[in-house]
Amino acid sequence: MPETDGATGTTGGGYEPTARTVPSRSRERARYDRETVHSILDQAYVCHLGFVRDGAPVVLPTLYGRVGETLYVHGSTGSRPLLAAGQADPGLPVCLTVTHVDGLVLARSAFHHSINYRSVIVHGTAYQVTDEAERRMALDALVDHVVPGRSADSRPANAKELAATAVIRLDLNEVSAKLRTGGPNDEPEDMGLPYWSGVVPVAPVHGTPIPADDLAPGIATPDYLAAL
């Protein structure tokens, strides 16, 4: 982790905690260093993007990509949040959350049941990206987020596809990670209870790639899929 970060000018490599990014409980689980935040963001496939529409909250699952200290989300130019980000002035307030479930925590008491998890919550304002070079970079990042190295091994978007795609950006400024690890935290007086206690690990696993029905003969499964 660098001592200073050129992109934001903050020192120590971390995000500055704010009233919104300090949790109201379990503060010892919060993290603000970029390494932890980036790692959690880079390992998930979907984020949950929250915004306000007609005064009510909306939470949509969507793909995303990260380039340095910026997240990109894309969608049809007809999609509601992306339209809102383009129309809103000055931008669309959003909350973007990413969560990994790492384990089921079974305590002796019902009360102390929990899960081990890693999450990142980003508060900020999303803006539509209009610069053509940035839009192309963002779309590459979105594809490479799903499968690293894939954007270079597929047909790039053409003019028609680019015109049909809206891209919004959200800078990583007001950001926190939160995580729970380890075993159950039972009360001392519960230790003698006759209930099994421990953790069941959970992790996503990739299956064997399934070629498209109409895949032309002679096209081998690419090496970058083996690295997933």
12 binds a copy of itself (CB under 8 A): no
Binding to a copy of itself, residues 58-87 (CB under 8 A): 58-61, 63, 75-76, 78-80
* Nearest CA-CA partner of 42 in 150, 147, 179, 167: 147
Count, residues near a copy of itself per rule CB under 8 A: 96
221 binds a copy of itself (CB under 8 A): yes
205 binds a copy of itself (CB under 8 A): yes
- Report the alpha-carbon distance of residue 151 to residue 144 in Å, rounded: 6
Binder among 2, 133, 203, 217 for a copy of itself (CB under 8 A): 203
159 binds a copy of itself (CB under 8 A): no
135 binds a copy of itself (CB under 8 A): no
With contacts defined by CB under 8 A, name the span among 6-14, 17-25, 28-36, 65-73 that binds a copy of itself: 17-25
Decide if 15 contacts 171 (C-beta within 8 A). Answer: no
With contacts defined by CB under 8 A, name the span among 3-11, 28-36, 127-135, 217-225 that binds a copy of itself: 217-225
Six-digit token string for 3: 């001592």
* Nearest CA-CA partner of 146 in 28, 214, 46: 46
Decide if 108 contacts 193 (C-beta within 8 A). Answer: yes
Six-digit token string for 141: 């990042």
